[in-house]
């Protein structure tokens, strides 16, 4: 049957099980919208294309499916860029579909023309400019395959308007065979044997779990290994939730913004098993001083991550879940009781210290760390938490107890302010059964607050926790420590009354200024049917750690 | 820094060269030369890339190139076991007094004269980097007006071939091949 290119696209999206698209229309993608109007696919109109890309990312992370976002050519496409780069750094499978000017005028700088495949090449897993209608179905099938397999990531399809309008044939979905793309899933037997031996010989092993554990859904296998052998676990920011936050062997996040027990364990370890993590700078700090006593095992599906940042003794390429399943039959280790006891002692001391440091007395401000620990009590981890970037992100990482994999959604690699709110929208639309909470600061919130209208229009239920210190808190802290307290460009004067702002969108909320009001306010937010914003007045001097 | 020769088979599409070149600049890798042309299979192009760097850099280059979807296969060629050639076209000053001496040098180097004018000779020269450098050095005395080089291309000696068909080598780096 002959169809238009736009019809082929929408049919292909339907065949790939896409139920939701986050997007923004324009002249160069109008033919797609014309077809979408008659499709079962739900289109969520955001208020900025960047919000559409972040929402697709939040959707993908909450559901484990590919998130889809769409924009027109030129500025529509460039507005997606930050969202695409954010997804790329965190290995999130999204597909971005952009309109493009007609093929015969490409390169002539016509109205709303931009080279978006050129612009996004550095931070897309792959991208396509469709120049011939006969390639269209194949390209869409390949895009889904590439985005969702191997190390996941964003794929962009740029569709000129004449391709959308022109005739095209639809090929039924086939598993594409791309000769230059064959991810390795199974671990090499010899390496597995070496890993099992190294574990058996070690007396102080530590596992560092990254986002790869979550994207390969390997949490059960990880837990089994950890409990069988007695290996303490730390996680990267992206790995939060790979193991329950209340597990006795979980030490918390490592690195410059992490928990000291976790760093202490890594420093003392004689074996460090890195799983699905990049060993990036925020996790390792100075690599010359990182885990110096440890033999290093690195498990990753992307061979390019192994040895990139950290010397590795035993590399193994594969999918974490499959590798851990394979490892079982080689494993011969005794339980590391002595080491577990030592680390547990450190952890208990740290917990006591933490409990002391979290001040819940009433003063001039609300303690954000206390807010997050109360939130943990109230949700018991049965919620999806997204964060913005800055102090709010680190407070949430260290003080909110994430229990389930995929329920902590944050911009780890790129550190994108303005990510949390649209990501929460995507997460809630993907998982309407879940309570979705965004932890935000007054700086980040203002980068995406236009999406309050999206929340209103689509009746999305999100609990917004807004820490207001009237500052860019993390940059201010940096200026305090590294730049002799010369504060510059970190005061957010002119911010609106956020509760009134929410009210202007018809969204309820309240402002909390005392620790003693925190629990009740959070309960009201969680019980409210629909979006609710709670603004907490926070001390600008409150430290990140 | 030592030089390394990479043979890279890529899909013969528009945009592949820019992806490869972009990767080098983005990740701060230095290339001495990059030559590209179609192979015996019209759907496949072959790039010969001369990389300047230590073993870590070459391993990173290889792994990062392998991540590009359009890259089908990469092989690092051992200079001892491969033939490496570059083509240079050199336009040199030539007067009636110097012309015969230049022709002698051209003969010694087994180069060819491809164009003659009253004041110049244009010479085609094929060879290894060293040979071209030596030839260039000999011609300098006459005054080189213009020189253009293709960059190195290389092929393995003997029966070894690099074919696009055999796939799944993405994991072969670091001794971690598929089971």
Q: What is the CATH number of the domain that holds A233?
A: 3.40.50.1220
Q: Which tens digits make up the pLDDT trace of A270-319?
A: 999 999 999 888 898 888 889 889 999 999 999 999 989 998 999 999 99
pLDDT at position A351, please? Answer: 87
| Residue B168 banded pLDDT, cuts 50, 70, 90 | very low
pLDDT per position as a tens digit, A146-164: 999 999 999 999 999 999 9
Note whether A6 and A151 are same-domain residues.
yes
Whether residue A187 lies within 8 A of chain B, CB to CB, comes out as yes
Chain A residues with beta carbon closer than 8 angstroms to that of B68: 180
* DSSP conformation class of A491: B
Number of domains within chain A: 3
- A 10 A CB-CB count for A497 gives 11
In this complex, is the C-beta atom of B44 within 8 Å of any C-beta atom belonging to chain A?
A: no
For strand A126-129 and strand A20-23, is the pairing parallel, antiparallel, or unpaired? unpaired
- Do A363 and A339 have their domain in common? no
A411 and A271, same domain (yes or no)? no
Residue A182 domain-assigned (yes or no): no
Residues from chain A that touch B178, judged by Cβ atoms under 8 A, are 184, 186, 188
Alpha-carbon torsion angle A420, A424, A425, A428, nearest 10: 180
pLDDT of residue B171: 41
Q: Which DSSP string corresponds to A218-236? A: -HHHHHHHHHHHT--EEE-
A351 within a domain of the structure (yes/no): no
CB A114 within 8 A of CB A78: yes
Main-chain phi, psi angles of A143, to 5 degrees: -60, -45
Nearest to A95 by CA among A170, A157, A174, A149: A157
Domains and CATH numbers, chain B: 3-82+156-178 (3.30.70.260), 83-153 (3.30.70.1150)
pLDDT score of B172 more than 60: no
Within-domain flag for A485: yes
Candidates A480, A464, A479; CA nearest to A524 is A464
A390 to each of A79, A92, A103, A424, A475, how far by Cα in Å?
22, 21, 42, 17, 8
For residues A145 and A205, membership in a common domain is answered with no
As a whole number of Å, the end-to-end CA separation of chain B is 35
- Domain match, A306 and A450 both: no
Residues A325 and A270 in one domain: yes
Instruction: Among A126, A179, A303, select the one facing B176 at the smallest CB separation.
Output: A303
3-class DSSP state of A114: coil
- Point out the domain boundary residue: A117, A141, A169: A169
Residue B173 confidence (pLDDT) above 50 = no
**Distance of alpha carbon B29 from alpha carbon B52, whole angstroms:** 8
ipTM above 0.95, yes or no: no
Q: Residue B26: closest CA among chain A residues belongs to which residue?
A: A122
pLDDT value of position A428: 98
Buried b (16+ CB within 10 A) or exposed e, A427-463: bbbbbeebbbbbbbbbbbbbbbbbbbbbbbeeebbbb
Is residue B174's pLDDT more than 70? Answer: no
Average pLDDT estimate for B70-93: 95
Cβ(A421)–Cβ(A438) under 8 Å?
A: yes
| CA A311 – CA A294 distance, rounded (Å) | 11
**A513 C-beta neighbours (distance < 10 Å), count:** 14
Rounded CA separation B43/A450 (Å): 48
Q: Which residues of A142-166 are buried (b: 16+ CB within 10 A; e: fewer)?
A: bbbbbbbbbbbbbbbbbbbbbbbbb
Within this chain, do residues A218 and A303 fall inside the same structural domain, yes or no? yes
The domain boundary, picked from A345, A380, A399, lies at: A345
Indicate left, alpha or beta for B90 from its phi (over 0: left) and psi (-120 to 50: alpha): beta
Is the CB of B143 inside 8 Å of chain A's CB atoms?
Answer: no
Following DSSP, what letter does each residue of A264-329 receive, concatenated? HHHHH-SEEEEES----HHHHSSGGGTTTT-EEEEEES-GGGTTTSS--SEEEES-HHHHHHHHGG
Give the end of a domain, one of A283, A317, A345: A345
> For A316-358, how does the pLDDT look when each residue is reduced to its tens digit (9 = 90+)?
999 999 999 999 999 998 999 999 999 999 999 988 888 777 8
Q: What are the chain B neighbours of A315 within 8 Å (beta carbons)?
A: 174-176
d(CA A534, CA A512): 7
Contact assignment for B176 to A188 by CB distance below 8 Å: yes
Sign for the CA dihedral angle at B107, B108, B112, B116 comes to negative
Residue of B13, B67, B166 for testing the chain A interface, max A β-carbons within 10 Å:
B67
Which residues does chain A have with pLDDT short of 50? none
8 Å CB contact between B152 and B102: no
A191 in contact with B, Cβ within 8 Å: yes
Tell me how far apart the alpha carbons of residues A278 and A275 are, in angstroms, rounded to a whole number: 9
Contact criterion met (CB below 8 Å) for B126 and B87: yes
| Model confidence pLDDT, tens digit, residues A394-436 | 999 999 999 999 999 999 999 999 999 999 999 999 999 999 9
**What percent of chain B stands above pLDDT 70?**
92
- Note the pLDDT of residue B58: 93
Domain membership flag for residue A83: yes
> What is the reported pLDDT for B178?
32
Q: Does residue A287 belong to the interface with chain B, where contact is any CB pair within 8 Å?
A: no
> How does strand A509-512 pair with strand B82-93?
unpaired
| Residue A130: predicted pLDDT | 97
CA gap A294, A292 in Å, rounded: 6
Is residue A526 domain-shared with residue A399, that is, in the same domain?
Answer: yes
- The CATH number covering residue A144 comes to 3.40.50.970
Domain containing residue A143: 2-169
Residues A326 and A379 occupy one common structural domain = no
Query: Which of the 8 DSSP states describes residue A471?
Result: B
Q: Is pLDDT larger for residue A206 or for residue B173?
A: A206
**Do A90 and A140 fall into the same domain?**
yes
CA dist., res. A164 & res. A32, Å (int): 7
Report the b/e string of A49-78 with b at 16+ CB within 10 A: bbbbbbbbbbbbbbbebbbbbbbbbbebbb
Q: What residues in B contact A122, CB-CB < 8 Å? A: 22, 26
User: Distance, in angstroms, between A141 CA and closest chain B CA?
Assistant: 14
| Residues A161 and A239 occupy one common structural domain | no
Q: Which tens digit of pLDDT belongs to each residue from B37-61?
A: 999 999 999 999 999 999 999 999 9
| pTM exceeds 0.90 | yes
* Shared domain check, A283 and A193: yes
Residue B169 pLDDT: 45
């Amino acid at each position: 049957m002959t169809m238009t290119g736009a019809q082929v696209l929408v049919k292909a999206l339907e065949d790939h099980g896409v139920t939701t698209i986050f997007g923004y229309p324009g002249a160069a993608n109008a033919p797609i919208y014309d077809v979408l109007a008659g499709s079962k696919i739900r289109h969520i109109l955001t208020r900025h294309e960047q919000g559409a890309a972040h929402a697709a990312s939040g959707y993908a992370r909450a559901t484990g499916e590919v998130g889809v976002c769409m924009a027109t050519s030129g500025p529509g496409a460039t507005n997606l860029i930050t969202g695409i780069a954010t997804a790329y750094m965190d290995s999130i499978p999204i597909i971005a579909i952009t309109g493009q000017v007609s093929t015969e005028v490409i390169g002539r700088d016509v109205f709303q023309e931009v080279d978006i495949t050129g612009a996004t090449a550095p931070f897309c897993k792959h991208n396509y400019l469709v120049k011939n209608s006969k390639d269209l179905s194949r390209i869409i099938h390949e895009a889904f395959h590439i985005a969702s397999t191997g190390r996941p990531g964003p794929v962009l399809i740029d569709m000129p308007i004449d391709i959308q309008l022109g005739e095209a044939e639809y090929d039924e979905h086939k598993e594409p065979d791309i000769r230059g793309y064959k991810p390795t899933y199974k671990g090499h037997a010899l390496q597995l044997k070496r890993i099992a031996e190294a574990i058996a010989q070690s007396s102080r092993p530590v596992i560092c779990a990254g986002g790869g554990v979550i994207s390969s859904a390997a949490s059960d296998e990880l837990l089994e290994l950890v409990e069988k052998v007695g290996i303490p676990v730390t996680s990267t920011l992206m790995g939060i939730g790979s193991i329950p936050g209340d597990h006795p062997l979980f030490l918390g996040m490592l690195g410059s913004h992490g928990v000291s027990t976790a760093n202490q364990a890594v420093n003392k370890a004689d074996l460090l098993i890195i799983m699905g993590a990049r060993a990036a700078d925020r996790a390792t700090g100075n690599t010359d001083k990182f885990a110096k006593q440890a033999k290093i095992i690195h498990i990753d599906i992307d061979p390019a991550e192994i040895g990139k940042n950290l010397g590795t003794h035993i590399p193994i390429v594969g999918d974490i879940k499959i590798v851990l399943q394979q490892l079982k039959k080689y494993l011969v280790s005794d339980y590391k009781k002595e080491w577990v006891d030592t680390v547990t002692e450190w952890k208990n001391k740290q917990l006591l210290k933490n409990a002391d440091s979290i001040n819940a007395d009433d003063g001039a401000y609300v303690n954000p760390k206390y807010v997050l620990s109360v939130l943990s009590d109230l949700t018991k981890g049965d919620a999806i938490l997204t964060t913005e970037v800055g102090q709010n992100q680190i407070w949430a990482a260290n003080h909110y107890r994430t229990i389930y994999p995929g329920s902590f959604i944050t911009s780890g690699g790129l550190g994108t302010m303005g990510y949390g709110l649209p990501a929460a929208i995507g997460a809630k639309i993907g998982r309407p059964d879940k309570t979705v909470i965004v932890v935000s600061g007054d700086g980040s919130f203002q980068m995406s607050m236009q999406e309050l209208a999206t929340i209103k229009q689509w009746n999305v239920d999100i609990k917004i926790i807004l820490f207001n210190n009237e500052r860019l808190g993390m940059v201010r802290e940096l200026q305090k420590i590294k730049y002799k307290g010369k504060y510059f460009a970190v005061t957010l004067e002119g911010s609106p009354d956020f509760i009134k702002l929410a009210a202007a969108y018809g969204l309820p909320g309240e402002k909390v200024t005392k620790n003693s009001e925190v629990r009740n306010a959070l309960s009201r937010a969680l019980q409210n049917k629909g979006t609710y914003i709670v603004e907490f007045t926070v001390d600008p001097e409150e430290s990140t750690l | 820094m030592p030089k390394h020769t990479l043979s890279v088979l890529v899909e013969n599409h528009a945009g592949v060269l820019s992806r490869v070149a972009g990767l080098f600049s983005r990740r701060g890798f230095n290339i001495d030369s990059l030559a590209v042309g179609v192979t015996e299979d019209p759907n496949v192009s072959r790039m010969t890339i001369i990389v300047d760097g230590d073993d870590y850099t070459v391993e990173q280059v290889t792994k990062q190139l392998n991540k590009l979807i359009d890259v089908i296969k990469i092989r690092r060629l051992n200079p001892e076991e491969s033939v490496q050639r570059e083509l240079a076209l050199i336009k040199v000053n030539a007067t009636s007094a110097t012309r015969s001496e230049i022709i002698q040098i051209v003969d010694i180097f087994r180069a060819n004269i491809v164009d003659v004018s009253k004041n110049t000779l244009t010479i085609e020269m094929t060879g290894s980097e060293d040979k071209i450098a030596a030839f260039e050095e000999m011609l300098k005395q006459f005054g080189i007006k213009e020189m253009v080089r293709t960059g190195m291309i290389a092929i393995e000696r003997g029966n070894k071939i690099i074919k696009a068909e055999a796939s799944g080598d993405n994991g072969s780096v670091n001794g971690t091949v598929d089971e």
